[in-house]
Amino acid sequence: MFLKFSITKTIHDWLFELMPAGVAGVVEMILIAVVYLLIFAVAGLYLVLLERRVAAWFQLRLGPNRVGYQGLLQTMADALKLVSKELTGTEKADKFLYNLAPYFVIVTSLMALSVFPFSEEFQAFDINIGIFFLTAISSIGVIGILLGGWSSNNKFALIGAMRSGVQTISYELSVGLSLLTMVLLTESLQLSEIVAVQKNGWLIVQGHIPAVIAFVIFMIAGTAETNRAPFDLVEAESELGAGFHTEYSGMKFAYFFLAEFINMFIIAAIGTTVFFGAWLSPFGITDSIPWLGVFWFLGKTLLLVFLMMWFRWTFPRLRVDQLLRLEWKYLLPINLFNLVFMAGLIWLGLTIKF
Amino acid sequence: MERILFYLLSIIILIFAISAVSSRKMLRSVIYLLFVLCAIAGLYFMADYNFLAAVQLTVYAGGIVVLMIFSVMLVHHIDMEMEVAGKTKQALTAALCLSGVVVFLIAIYQHPFAIVPTQNTITVAEVGTLLLGYQAGGFILPFEVISVLLLAVMIGGIVIAKAGKKPQEKTPKS
């Protein structure tokens, strides 16, 4: 196995100096796992806060601003409250699957998080099928939702889970095809190489018209894949209670909730990596300071996250038939045409490179 | 380290494969099957067949298992349990499985396994050029045949879906 761990070489070298190679490898793996779990928890909690503040801003309210400076500790307090709550369940639920479902959702999003190049060195797992791995992992996440809906023995939860399955399977296709359009430009699936290609201009500039079309489709399909409004039929409050997680309480509910926000972060991060040059600074203004890459990556990702929140608070929810028509009758043909268009552009050498 | 991982994955595959066929709750056996498929993908990752592993995850874990879960959710209620087969059937299945195991063991122990000194990761570009290559060792013909087959299957699916609807439209009028 060639796992390429490259989180700051200094720590790596220091660990291997300090102890024998076998022990150092294990210690390094544990360290990386802890770091990513921390990122996961902190990002999840603060994205929830961000969502609430953005929602308040859109509705001309203030939002949470009492706990800590500007409400910075609000979601921490919420998480503590959720930990202390009782875990309830339905009488005839399939207990094993019911308890397993949240972990499916959490583990898949955690695995997806590990491949992103946060900066040149800060990338845990630079696998040579990067993007393909991401789509593969995200197709497993839906199993957690399906299981949670079925095993909680509740009709609303079951309907919510079914809707989620239909939606995710359909929109996965659009996410995959729009990313494939960009892969034509990069000629590689490895995320570090995709970033390296963008040193001659970000891909959205290199591929101009088809790249912009692909980006729009990617953002629509990505929003749908994370089950967020306007595509949140899965948990349509007016029809289904809370949808697939109606029967979940306390920390198990929080797992679903956190995973939803991390999935949004993941979609935004894929968008940043593939379209906006990941950790590369605009016009290379901070190329001499490599660690600033994290700042640029997070900045671009948070901009895309803000875009997705903007969608949520401005568009009304779609009906199921509208949702499926949008995917199969509009996005998919446009996507296929766009793929051919992009191939033609590359064949004729019409891409823009600095 | 690699050896530990290999045995761990093998144990996972064995345990969950057996529980997949012996569980009496349908959705649980589907989930056990999912674990088996994921562990096999792990074996591919260990052998550095990254592309194959990702295909395994997308097609089997993400596609087929989701389809199975869907069909179970549509036809199966949570209270239902599968019936236990009769004694003769059990004995017959056990005998068949054992003969299969014996054949596999004989084949494995007779095969002269060669140790490959250098490992090289197969990249997606190599897979792509081989898949569409028309020179010796290329797979363009099977690739195209499979795509024609898939097209036929899709058209067949649409025809079946449309055929079911027509009588429903006529009944309210008559």
Å from B15 to nearest chain A CA? 16
Angstrom CA distances, B21 to A114, B15, B90, stand at: 34, 10, 12
Q: Is the peptide bond before A333 cis (omega within 30 degrees of 0)?
A: no
Q: Are A98 and A152 in contact (CB under 8 A)?
A: yes
**Burial level of A276, CB count in 10 A (0-12/13-18/19+)?**
buried
A162/B78 Cβ within 8 A: no
User: What pTM was computed for the model?
Assistant: 0.87
Q: State how far the Cα of B42 lies from the Cα of B5, in Å rounded to an integer.
A: 9
What is the Rg, in whole angstroms, of the alpha carbon atoms belonging to chain B? 22
Distance in angstroms (rounded) separating the CA atoms of residues A115 and A132: 11
**Encoded amino acid at A350, one letter:** L
In SS3 terms, A340-354 reads as HHHHHHHHHCCCCCC
B138: left (phi over 0), alpha (psi -120 to 50) or beta: beta
Kindly report the nearest CA distance between residue A96 and chain B, in angstroms: 9
CA dist., res. A28 & res. A304, Å (int): 32
Q: Does A158 contact chain B (CB < 8 Å)?
A: yes
A31, amino acid identity: L
Q: Is A142 in the B-facing interface, judged by CB distances under 8 Å?
A: yes
Q: How far is CA A267 from CA A187, A214, B3, in A?
A: 21, 14, 36
The Cα A140–Cα A160 span in angstroms is 17
Buried b (16+ CB within 10 A) or exposed e, A135-162: bbbbbbbbbbbbbbbbbbbbebbbbbbb
Enter the tokens of residue A211. 């790249």
| Per-residue tens of pLDDT for chain B, all 174 residues | 778 889 999 999 999 999 998 888 888 888 899 999 999 999 988 888 888 888 888 888 888 888 888 888 888 777 777 778 888 998 999 999 999 999 999 999 998 888 777 667 777 888 888 888 888 778 889 989 999 999 999 999 889 888 766 555 555 544
Residue A272 and residue A204 in contact, taking contact as beta carbons nearer than 8 Å: no
Contact B66 A128 (CB under 8 A): no
ipTM of the complex in this document: 0.82
DSSP letter at A306 equals H
Q: Do B51 and A132 touch (CB under 8 A)?
A: yes
Chain B interface with A: residues with Cβ < 8 Å: 1-2, 5, 25, 27-28, 31, 34, 38, 45-46, 48, 50-51, 54-55, 57-58, 61-63, 65-66, 69-70, 72-73, 78-79, 119, 121, 123-125
Tens digit of pLDDT for each residue in A287-324?
Answer: 777 777 888 889 999 999 999 999 888 888 888 888 88
A162-210: pLDDT as tens digits:
888 888 888 888 998 999 998 888 888 888 888 888 888 888 888 888 9
Radius of gyration (Cα) for chain A, nearest Å?
A: 21
